[in-house]
Every structure is written in C-alpha cells, then in structure tokens.
Chain A
Amino acid sequence: MSSGKGVRKKQTLEAAVRYFEKCTGKVKVRGNLELQLSLETVKATSEESGLEPDQITTLLDAAASGYFAQTVGRQLIRSLVPSSRVPQEAVINAISWMSSNKPSISIQCLLLRWILVVYDYIDGYDKLHSLYGILFLFLDSQAMLPHVCHLMFLLTRKEDVKMFRVRKLLSLIQGRVGPQPCLLGLLTIYKLYYPNLVAFALPPSNKMFFGSYDRKWRCQVREMVEKSEARQALSASSSLGGNAAELGLSKSRQLAIQAPAKKRRRLEIPISHSASAETQLSESMEQVSLSVNTKKVPFVRVDTFMNLIDNVEKIEFPSQIAACLRDPILQHLMAYAADRVVTARFTFWLQHTLTDEFLNHSSVNVEENERLLRMLVDFTDFLQEGVPVVDSFISSYLHTWNGMDYGPFILRLISKCQMYPFSDLNDLILEPLRQLYFSSSVYFKCQCLLTLTELLRNYAAYECPRLKEWSAAVTAENNTTTILPTDPSLHSVFPERLNETVQPALVLQKLAAFVDRLAVLGLRIEGDNTLLLHSVVNFVELLSQWNQQHGVEKIILPSEHLLRRILFSDCSSAISRLCVAFCRYKESFVQSSSRQRESVSAFNDMLVDMCDALWRNKAFINPTQGSLKALSGELNPIVTSMGIPYPSSRFSIFQGQAFLPYAWSFLLQTQPEGKRVHPNQLKGVKDVYLEFLEQQNLAGVIRFINTFIMRKSVSGRNKHKSTADHLRRQLQRARTTAARVRNQLQQARATVARVRSSIIYRRHKQQEQDLQQREAAVNAHVNSQCEQEKDVEELRLQLNSAQVKARVLYRRLIHVSHL
C-alpha cells in the first residue's frame, strides 16, 4: 500500500519537475492550477525526502530564470533541499543566472543564501572556486554584501589574494559601506595569507564576522541529508567495507569512511578534502606560490602515519581545517607544523561555531554540541595545551552558565585552560566558578575542586615548563643577539598566547591558595562531607607530589586551617592519605636543593600538630611547638571549659573519632569475651595495633609514624623476635666453643695415649705423677666441656619456648586479621 503511494508520488514529482522544465516564457500565476499543484508536490517532496541532484539543477534553473513570479521562485528555492548531495553544476548555474541579472535582487540574495546553506554538501568546489573573480564583483551590491563575503570567506585560497582585491575591500570599508563585520572578516583572511598586502589595522573584536542566517533552513537540510545517509548506510554497509578494502586504503582511513555515515554529517564538522587535489592547479600554482617551490602533497592522499612522516614538510592542509578535530593524523600534522595560518583558520572556525551554537542561541541540538565539546576535550588532550579561543569562549560562557548544561565538558575544558596572569584568570574563570561553588550542591563542589586540582596539575606539568623554556629561549636570544629570531611556534601550537608577563610560580602559588580557601569554607559549609573531604585530599596530594613529579621548585603547603579540617575529621582514610602526603613533603624537602626556610618551619609546625594529635596525646596543649603554639594560652581554658575529659587525646589513633571503631574491633577480637574494653588497653600493644591498622588499609598512618616518630622501646612481638635472635646467636657461639673444646679433648686424649705408652717403657714414678696430674687436668677440662654442653641444651630449650611464644602471638594476629 505504502509503496504504491510512494510510486504515485514519485510520478507526480517527475511530472512536476517536467512542468517546470518545459516552461520557457512568462507564466501566469493567478488561476494556474498546474503550477500550483506542481509547486505543492515539489514542496511536499522536499520536506519529506529531499530532491535528487538532477531535479535540483532543473528546479534551480526554473526558479532563477525569472519566468515565474517572485513568490513562486522564492518558494522553489526554499524547497531545494538535497537528499544527499548538491551538484556543483547547479551552484554554477545559480551564479550565472545571478550574473545575467534576470532574477530580481531579492531572488539573487536568496540564491546566495541557498549556496551558503548547502555549502557543505556540494559535490565539488573546483568550478565554483574558478568563479571567485565573478563573485567578487557582487560586492558592489549592498543587499548581497554579507552573503557574498561569507561565501568568499569560505572559498578564499592563498592564490586568490591579490592587491587589487585588497584595495577594493579597503575602499569599501573606508567608503560608503563602512567597516562592516563581514568585510572585516574577509579582509582578515586576506591578511592572514599576505600580511604585507593588507596594511590596515584590523580592530580586534569578539563579534562574529558573519551573522547566522537561515538556521531553520540549515537544520532542515542537515536532517534530510542525515536521514538519507542513514538509509544508504543501512543498505550499503556491507558492500562499502569491501570496496574500501579493494581501494587499498589504510586502516584508519577505512575507519573514517566506515564510521557510521550518520555521525559523520551530524556535527557539521567537515571531512577533510583538499583544494589542490580538486582544482589540479599545478601550473597556475607555480605562478602564485612565492615561497614554496616544492610541490604540495594534498592531505587527502596521506593515508598512513608513515606516509605522513615521509611528506611532513610539504603537505597541504585540507580546505576545512576543522576536520582536524576528528582526524588523528591531521592532529599530528597540526601539532608538528604549528603553522600560523592554519591555527588562525582553526581559531576562526572554532570561534564562529562556538559563539553561534552556545552563546547566541539556546541549545537546540544538545547532543551535537556535546559531541563538539568532547572532540575539543580530546583535541586539547592530544595537544597538551589549551586552545586560546576555547578559553575565551569558556570565560564568556561561564559568565552565564547555570552550572548544569554540558557540565562535565565545560569543567574538563576549564582544567585544560592556558596560563594567564592570575588577575585575568581570577576575573574570567575563578570568580564565576566561585559563585557557582558556594551556591551549588556538594557534588558540584567536589567536581569544582577536582577541576581546579586538574587545572593546577595541568599548569605544573605542561604550562610551567613551556613558559620556562620560552622565556629561557627569549633571554638566550637577547644575550647572544643572534639574527635568527626565536620562533614561538617551537614552543606552542598557538604561539600568540605565549605571554612573558606571566610568572608561572606566582600563578601556581596564588591559585593553590585560592583552591585552599574554597576547600576550607566548602568543608565547613557541607559539614566535612566525606566525598568533599577526599576531593580536598586529592588537592593536598597534588601539592605534595608536584615538586618531585613535575619539578615545581617552590614547595607549597596547604594552609593550617585545611590541615586541621582534615586532621580532625572523622574519616580515617582521608587522614591516612594526609599522612602519606606529609611523608612525600618530607622527601621533597630533603631532596630540594634550594633552602626554603619559611616553608620548612611552617611544615615542621604542621608536623608537630599531626604528631601531637595522632600519637602523643598532646593536641592543643603543646605550648612550645606547632601551629597553635601562640594560641595555646587562650586555647587551654576553652578546651578545659568544654568539660570533655582528656581533650588532648581525643584525636589520637587510639581514641580519635576516626579511629575508635578500629580500636574497638581490635580489642574485641583480641580480648577474652565479656571483658570490658577501653582504648587505654592498647598502650601495651601499640605495635600489634599498628599492624592491625595496616591490615585495615590505613598504611599511611603507619608510614607516617615510622617516618616521623622515634620509637624508644621495642615491645610485643618485636621483643620476642629479638630475644629469639639473641638466643640463636648465643647458641651458635656455644656450639663453636663446644667444637673447639672437643678438638682440644681429642688432642689431649691422643697425648694421653702417647704418654701411657711411654709409661709402659719407662715406668717412671715422677712421670707417672706427672701423667696423673695431666689426666686430672684433662678431666677437669672435660667436665667443663660437659657443663658447657648442658648450657647449650638449656639455651636451646629457651629458644624453643621463645619460638613457641612468637608463634602463638603470630597465630593470634592471623586470627585477628581473619576476623
């Protein structure tokens, strides 16, 4: 049924197109039923499925010919929605009709607007580009000016920039038309290609060069093309893969082609195609290319990474620079080449798109905008540096942000932002973020802190070294006075933002202090929320590592207020992480070459605070050391007036609120059932308790205590272990003595035998006496040896008992750990 209907419709569409085709003279509108019907059919079809390329050509000719009344022509042009592609021929025809001056000015305008609407879907640009000179003539028409400028802005290539054109533009700007944004836009791109030709200071402006007309129309065209591409992708997805393989394309290219055709068009991020490949301008190219003699390789022919490496110096960038948001190879090329023209083109495109999509209009297509932002995030990730135009977009978007739209992406982009002087950073980004921070939920606070921590990490890891290298290069240049100027593009893809007035260390310090303040007050407002606490500890961890990991010279400490909020919180894992951070700080201080006396003394104060609170049961009452030493006189009465017994041991790892559950479960497992337990019972078994804490994933605390606290006595299992060692050593020593004695005995016996035999012969009394004496001596020796052996036995027994003791303790430990 439906197919039959479709066929009928198609037939009538063909008839309608044929009707428009055969009209070759003025046609009456009023009462012309056939015209009305045909027009209705065309409009209906274009709304439903779009028009085929040849139909577009025919209808365009009819609309622009001037045979029909203006209203009809306008409706026809409005309905020229392509189903897939627009033939270049139609566009050429449109321009030639415009040149013939047959259609009225308003129709001409509409034709230009149509070209701009379908610009991304034209199947070729070579012939269109060769009409550049013709298009330039339309600049004289006031009504068409913005559209012509926009179209030429899109078409302009280096060889189009000619002196006479620049002069014409300047005369327009200084003459009757005035400095309109569209003219300035066109002139800007001319200036980019040949700065020497345009000696006109372009006023810096944040406005868009070209207003966005016909958004609805654009959307309609895009949706139609998407729809038909989706349909094609469904029907031809299998054959496409085969074809691509036959063409011998590289894998990444195949992916790019195969990647769901639907997605490809949606974002309005064009696929790359190349100007010189299409125009084949090789001969004329040679005339115009002033500086480069090597033949350019168009980027579309580069399909593998190796190919890129081979041709890296002579690749021509694609006409649509925005394609590098999606093409990984192009991203490599852009990061390598750091070409001013390329980055400026990229910047223009981004600024236009971002302003248009996010700032000027409420978000219509949220998904597409999200995709664009995600690509931007990936791109900045790849470049490892922020894109200046994105930063300025973020700052103006943040100003009116509701804290919700595109949240994760906006925050990611903030964390990728380039380094600016702190006052700028504060006004543009930190202040709006701060207002949102204090009025939003705890989850937003966490995200915000994580973002700022990431920003700090980004600064420490990438921006600081970049700026340092750059300033080193500049000073080297100043010193040696070489002729070769330092090229900023060696240091950054967006060199214009390398700012010598930025002092990286100062920015880091101020930003860290800012985050610190936000963290302290945020924790207080949210009642030390655990999630927020961990975000804050993340920040402290970054501060503690960046000396060693990122080579930041200045060691920045968290404020003592922040330290106390974490230290006196009820979250044991946060305290453990804080302990690890302090161990790292110690390593940094030990290794750092520069003396940082102030921070060392502040660090020591904090350390004393932590030791007092966690281990020594001296919190708040240490009158000589710690960050509270000056206040201890005032604090004491306050602390005692609270009526809490033993206030200074309330934060230790034995009795503190964060650790009390551990102490309780430890005592419960180790003490006999029914016995009343109290944390005070832990005093004798501190080591076993510490091992227990280690098993509970609080190793940071143990590391802290081992690093910073000198333990006097060795008790518990360690003591037994050392006694066993001691006994073992004694036994060893006794054994060697026994062996020596045994040797001596043997020798003595041999002597005795020898002497006895001599006695048999001589039977000399004195000798006998002598012998007896000697035997007695030997006997005594033997006795002593026996005693020593007894000693050894005893020692062995002691050792055994010690070992058994140790084993029992060990079993208990294992038992405890199992529980």
Chain B
Amino acid sequence: MASDDRTLTPYNVLPNRQEASLLVVGAEGVGKHDLSLAVLKIPVQFSLQIRTASSLPLPTENADLRPRIDFICFIMSMTDRESIQVVEKSLSLVDVKYFLGRACLVVTGVHSHKKMTDLDQVTALADSFNLPLVFGEVKSEKERDQLARRILTMTEVAAGFKNHVSPLLVESTRLVTTS
C-alpha cells in the first residue's frame, strides 16, 4: 500500500476542461527550468501549469491540492551520468498508464563531445518503458523553442485538447513489426 501511495497516477483527480498540467522530471542542471519557461512562453487557449521535480516520488505534503498530471516529461543529459540514474529511478515510481503516450524522454547533448553514456543504453531504457525519445538542446534558443513546442503538442494531446484525439489513438498508428 505504501508503494501505491508513492506512484503517480493519471486518473486520481478529475480532469478539467480548461486546465492542463505538465510535470518535468530531471536532475539538477539539465535545464528543466529553461525548458519549462520556453513552454510557458508559447501562447495557448487554456491554462497550463508546469511543475518541476528533481526526482520522484513527489512530496506527500499538499498532495491533495496537486492537480492531475496530464503529461510527464523526463529530461536527461548524455553528458551527465547522474541524470540518467535519476530518470531510471523515477520511472519505476510512475503508474504504467503514463507509458501509453502520456510521457516522453527528452535527451540533450546527443551530439556532444563529452558523452558519458552510450546512445544504445538510452534507447534501451526508452524502449523498455515505451517512451518516445525527443532529442534536442536546451542551450540554444532555437532548439529549445522547438523542443518546447513538441512537448506542448504532446501535452495537448494527452489532455484531450486536440479534437478529442487521445494518446492511445496516436499510439495506434504505430506498427510493431514482428521480426
């Protein structure tokens, strides 16, 4: 029961038609605040809340005041080994329903000189949790805006603001080949 309390579930709070909330999870220094600010800069028709956490589980205080989390964005940097471990740990504390299109993994520094991990390891991690990988840099403004737009689009779909298209409907276009 204790572990159930700690996992984050998407359906514990009723949805609101005017609000969406996004949770950004990543270690210190991977740029989650910059990214969140970039997302907030984009004008939208609804009220968007962004919460950031440097690790999961979220603190239990004020848990009942917390809005329903529509989308979780994990963020990690290829140049920081610790950030991968944070993501790995946090992933186990998330309800499995999030992995049907309500979460993504942002990876920065994929073309960097100072890579600390192999790309295959990251891909394996993403595959095992069915997480879509989003690559990009938070440091350059152009790429950050692009990243922010992509995350916002996925959040809108997850919150049902895109003509009632649900994440599962998007997932259904995916072809899993058995080879």
A361: B residues at CB distance < 8 A: 111, 113
CB B167 to nearest CB in A, in angstroms, measures 9
Q: Which of B124-179 contact A (CB under 8 A)?
A: 132-137, 142-143, 146-147, 149-151, 153-154, 157, 162-163, 165, 169-170, 173-175, 177-179
Q: Is A697 engaged at the interface, CB distance under 8 Å to the other chain?
A: no
A402: B residues at CB distance < 8 A: 134-137, 143, 146-147
Do A435 and B132 touch (CB < 8 A)? yes
Q: Is A221 engaged at the interface, CB distance under 8 Å to the other chain?
A: no
CB A444 to nearest CB in B, in angstroms, measures 9
Q: Is B112 engaged at the interface, CB distance under 8 Å to the other chain?
A: yes
Residue from the list B142, B163, B179 in contact with A525, Cβ < 8 A: B163
Q: Is B96 engaged at the interface, CB distance under 8 Å to the other chain?
A: no
Closest B residue to A359 by beta carbon equals: B111
Q: Is A404 engaged at the interface, CB distance under 8 Å to the other chain?
A: yes
Residue from the list B134, B137, B143, B173 in contact with A517, Cβ < 8 A: B173
CB A648 to nearest CB in B, in angstroms, measures 24
Q: Which of A512-566 contact B (CB under 8 A)?
A: 514, 517-518, 521, 524-525, 527
Do A399 and B123 touch (CB < 8 A)? yes
Do A440 and B177 touch (CB < 8 A)? no
Closest A residue to B165 by beta carbon equals: A525
Closest B residue to A440 by beta carbon equals: B150
CB A570 to nearest CB in B, in angstroms, measures 15
Q: Given the known A-B contacts A400-B119, A430-B175, A524-B165, are A440 and B149 also in contact in the complex, defined by CB atoms under 8 Å?
A: yes
Assembly CA distance A403 to B135 (angstroms): 9
Q: Is B40 engaged at the interface, CB distance under 8 Å to the other chain?
A: no
Chain A 437-451, CB within 8 Å of chain B: the 1/0 string? 011110000000000
Assembly CA distance A402 to B104 (angstroms): 14
**In this complex, which of B107, B143, B173 has the most chain A Cβ atoms within 10 angstroms of its Cβ?**
B173
Q: Is A336 engaged at the interface, CB distance under 8 Å to the other chain?
A: no
A441: B residues at CB distance < 8 A: 149, 153
CB B116 to nearest CB in A, in angstroms, measures 15
Q: Is B93 engaged at the interface, CB distance under 8 Å to the other chain?
A: no
Assembly CA distance A438 to B123 (angstroms): 19
CB B59 to nearest CB in A, in angstroms, measures 30
Do B175 and A404 touch (CB < 8 A)? no
Assembly CA distance A360 to B174 (angstroms): 29
Q: Given the known A-B contacts A400-B119, A402-B136, A402-B147, are A525 and B175 also in contact in the complex, defined by CB atoms under 8 Å?
A: no
A422: B residues at CB distance < 8 A: 177
Q: Which of A386-441 contact B (CB under 8 A)?
A: 399-404, 422-424, 426-427, 430-431, 434-435, 438-441
Assembly CA distance A527 to B163 (angstroms): 7
Assembly CA distance A559 to B64 (angstroms): 46
CB B42 to nearest CB in A, in angstroms, measures 11
Assembly CA distance A684 to B40 (angstroms): 56
Do B177 and A427 touch (CB < 8 A)? yes
B149: A residues at CB distance < 8 A: 440-441
A430: B residues at CB distance < 8 A: 175
Q: Is B100 engaged at the interface, CB distance under 8 Å to the other chain?
A: no
B58: A residues at CB distance < 8 A: none
Q: Is A732 engaged at the interface, CB distance under 8 Å to the other chain?
A: no
Do A434 and B173 touch (CB < 8 A)? yes
Q: Is A363 engaged at the interface, CB distance under 8 Å to the other chain?
A: yes
Q: Is B110 engaged at the interface, CB distance under 8 Å to the other chain?
A: yes
Assembly CA distance A385 to B175 (angstroms): 26
Residue from the list A363, A439, A518, A524 in contact with B132, Cβ < 8 A: A439
Interface size on B, residues (CB 8 A): 35
Q: Is A362 engaged at the interface, CB distance under 8 Å to the other chain?
A: yes
Closest A residue to B171 by beta carbon equals: A438
CB B26 to nearest CB in A, in angstroms, measures 17
Do A439 and B154 touch (CB < 8 A)? yes
Assembly CA distance A743 to B123 (angstroms): 103
Do A521 and B173 touch (CB < 8 A)? yes
B113: A residues at CB distance < 8 A: 361-362
Assembly CA distance A784 to B137 (angstroms): 102
CB A312 to nearest CB in B, in angstroms, measures 43
Do A401 and B142 touch (CB < 8 A)? no
**In this complex, which of A434, A435, A518 has the most chain B Cβ atoms within 10 angstroms of its Cβ?**
A435
CB B40 to nearest CB in A, in angstroms, measures 18
Assembly CA distance A400 to B122 (angstroms): 11
A360: B residues at CB distance < 8 A: 111
Assembly CA distance A360 to B114 (angstroms): 11
Residue from the list B119, B147, B163 in contact with A524, Cβ < 8 A: B163
Interface size on A, residues (CB 8 A): 31
B135: A residues at CB distance < 8 A: 400-402
Do A521 and B169 touch (CB < 8 A)? yes
A427: B residues at CB distance < 8 A: 177, 179
Closest A residue to B115 by beta carbon equals: A360
CB B153 to nearest CB in A, in angstroms, measures 5
Q: Which of B67-94 contact A (CB under 8 A)?
A: none
B153: A residues at CB distance < 8 A: 438-441
Closest A residue to B142 by beta carbon equals: A404
A521: B residues at CB distance < 8 A: 165, 169-170, 173
Do A362 and B170 touch (CB < 8 A)? no
B137: A residues at CB distance < 8 A: 402
Q: Given the known A-B contacts A362-B113, A401-B135, A438-B170, are A423 and B147 also in contact in the complex, defined by CB atoms under 8 Å?
A: no
Assembly CA distance A305 to B111 (angstroms): 43
Chain A 361-395, CB within 8 Å of chain B: the 1/0 string? 11100000000000000000000000000000000
Closest A residue to B175 by beta carbon equals: A426
B177: A residues at CB distance < 8 A: 422-423, 426-427
Assembly CA distance A521 to B153 (angstroms): 14
Q: Given the known A-B contacts A426-B177, A430-B175, are A403 and B111 also in contact in the complex, defined by CB atoms under 8 Å?
A: no
CB A213 to nearest CB in B, in angstroms, measures 13
**In this complex, which of B135, B137, B157 has the most chain A Cβ atoms within 10 angstroms of its Cβ?**
B135
CB A568 to nearest CB in B, in angstroms, measures 14
Do A439 and B134 touch (CB < 8 A)? yes
**In this complex, which of B110, B136, B147, B175 has the most chain A Cβ atoms within 10 angstroms of its Cβ?**
B175
Closest B residue to A431 by beta carbon equals: B174
Q: Which of A266-289 contact B (CB under 8 A)?
A: none
Assembly CA distance A424 to B178 (angstroms): 10
Closest A residue to B110 by beta carbon equals: A400
Do A525 and B157 touch (CB < 8 A)? yes
Q: Given the known A-B contacts A402-B147, A521-B173, are A423 and B163 also in contact in the complex, defined by CB atoms under 8 Å?
A: no
Assembly CA distance A439 to B146 (angstroms): 10
Assembly CA distance A517 to B136 (angstroms): 27
A439: B residues at CB distance < 8 A: 104, 132, 134, 150-151, 153-154
Do A403 and B146 touch (CB < 8 A)? yes
B104: A residues at CB distance < 8 A: 439
Assembly CA distance A721 to B178 (angstroms): 66
Assembly CA distance A524 to B163 (angstroms): 7
Closest B residue to A514 by beta carbon equals: B175
Closest A residue to B132 by beta carbon equals: A435
Assembly CA distance A361 to B112 (angstroms): 6
Closest A residue to B147 by beta carbon equals: A402
Do B111 and A362 touch (CB < 8 A)? yes
A518: B residues at CB distance < 8 A: 173
Assembly CA distance A359 to B178 (angstroms): 28
Do B170 and A404 touch (CB < 8 A)? no
Do B179 and A423 touch (CB < 8 A)? yes
A438: B residues at CB distance < 8 A: 153-154, 157, 170, 173
Closest B residue to A523 by beta carbon equals: B163
Given contacts A399-B133, A400-B110, A435-B132, 15 further A-B contacts (CB under 8 A): A362-B112, A363-B111, A399-B123, A402-B135, A402-B143, A404-B146, A422-B177, A427-B177, A438-B170, A440-B150, A514-B173, A514-B175, A524-B165, A525-B162, A525-B163
Chosen A-B contacts, 20 in total, with CB atoms closer than 8 Å, are A361-B111, A399-B119, A400-B133, A400-B135, A401-B135, A403-B146, A403-B150, A404-B136, A404-B143, A426-B177, A430-B175, A431-B175, A438-B154, A439-B151, A440-B150, A514-B173, A518-B173, A521-B165, A525-B157, A527-B163
Instruction: Give the A-binding residues of B (Cβ under 8 A).
Output: 104, 107, 110-113, 119, 123, 132-137, 142-143, 146-147, 149-151, 153-154, 157, 162-163, 165, 169-170, 173-175, 177-179
